[in-house]
Structure 1
């Protein structure tokens, strides 16, 4: 194969030499505190080194925040000392600008099939070829991502035959579960962006418009208010398709008189989310539509009133579940709340902690949940109303504004 010397200057080395002024969501001391907490957790598990592949967890401990979160980028955290970042050179400007890691090991992004070999080299260079290596091997939540891919895992095992590789999926997730006051403030700000998106969409909703026009208003409202990249694009469903909720994509369907319009959005502030749902109806609602909306709101408000420290997710969910008898024949998915907070595309889900029947995990102050109450009569219609909350010392506090919690007539 013929090769040609490139006249281009190396990107990473040039930027590293020039210096890049950092922009971080939190003071560098906060990230150092988080790394120390991770290392303490590693010690409890007997890990020599932790490899983070979950982009949101890497963001949590280093500040790394890329427009392309699916890209391969890992943080290597030794049992003591400073972390090392391994990424494509194409991502190195992001790592320098949004990140506290000084030791960045780069590779050519056009050779991405060799990332496991590159990581094996980094781990060997750091002295961990025979160590106990923790890697996030699973996606902790159904809609969350971040697991190390199977092909790379097998390749890494082959390249480091004397190492012990163990599943460390929950090491950082457990630390992320309880939010600091600074994190909560970011979520409250995100909640204002969410509300701006909902207000704009509601104002744009009328007979004859299509779903894209309503979604465009949501983007305009959120981004103008200050939102960054949304973790999930606007979820918007209209008409009888609301009976197929909640994950149909919007797609140019025209809104007609009598249609329900379901909206679920979250703005983001430094990658922190605070989702909310609202529903509108074109013209006066039928008695069936109105009743479904009213019971859904009652379920939501029962959850907010019942969520407090010491109760389990099961306790909170069962009190709300008892209300569905008022709307016989309705379907609800059973997830009365799920953990969320800081996340990257394609999800705002954080981890597998729920308000749901059978979930016996005890609620603690600082946990944050989205309460997604979106029942439907299958194939006929559905509605959605939700808020994001934080568990406090005495109960639950809204992270979203919580305004206009009713079926809006347009």
Structure 2
């Protein structure tokens, strides 16, 4: 039986987009180093429309991806185009005017963009995360307000993580007084905050002698907010994952959404967050695989012992590509399967459905982590020394995958999966599963 890999519907987009390393069109025009006033995006009608739109954008974003990475060109114009397409509003529920696409569709959109440019694929992850926190824990009035903002073209970043301490306690505080509410603190790994109109910020407040967590939606240009472009990781270089400082930043009570309460019951915040991370890694793998195919077909020399004229006819290279393709297809299947579990848990969340969704996503995350790193590394093994030339930028696939897969350790995915099947233990409920 013959299997044509390029015929897979979810791979058509990325093969063309991610392998376009030459014959590049002129770059998108540059934009100022601050979020533009939003323009009303196009309307995405349904799941199929979302995927087709992502395919179109991936083809537009791919040709300049290596240049953006090498010169650290922040993708202002690309993000404006990304938002204008309507894709940043695809998880807004239908009753609020959005298409309310399935979790698997969201994952496919992110994977498609990530294959073209890993940074662009990651930037909206926390935007969608904040929308899920809002869907799960926000009031109807809060949902209406922020969904309307998204459908009007505004984008969310994040200020969730803090560094400098060994524990995971949050120190950014929400203080409530008769004079108003304000936030003080400092965050890092704030992916997307640099480009955002709103920065959803994880804060703690004192309530009845204990600390309670909230997600405060802070306007990007509020007085006392300082966004610092100090991210210098060797991968995902233009995600804007730097620092945000808050100095007595005033917020309205209507902008503060319960966070901790959403993890005290079974919800899909964690699984949805993780399926997006898995999608980013899958996209990195697709991009590396497509680039390897292109380079070996067009540029690589066969090894002398193969006794063939074309590198693509080297029998050992063929085996390596076959192995990598099988791993990639397996990861894609696990991601689609995980999407169905997340959809089911969103429709009827309970202890069992959310645990099953978390484990399905953990399985996908384990597979996509492995294949993204493997594809980025084997690209060079198969393409040879010529592929290491700096101007090609082919190392970005491995660097991006290695950087992003450190978000949370895959070894704990395997532990959660094994403990679930062997001992019937449900995974913990937090944003990392």
Q: Could you say whether these structures have the same fold, taking a TM-score greater than 0.5 normalized by the shorter chain as the test?
A: no
Normalized per residue, the structure richer in helix is 2
* Smaller-chain TM-score bracket: under 0.3
Pick 1 or 2: higher relative contact order, CA cutoff 8 A, min separation 6.
Answer: 2
Give the TM-score taking structure 2 as reference length.
Answer: 0.26
Normalized per residue, the structure richer in strand is 1
Give the TM-score taking structure 1 as reference length.
Answer: 0.28
Tell which structure's C-alpha radius of gyration is larger.
1
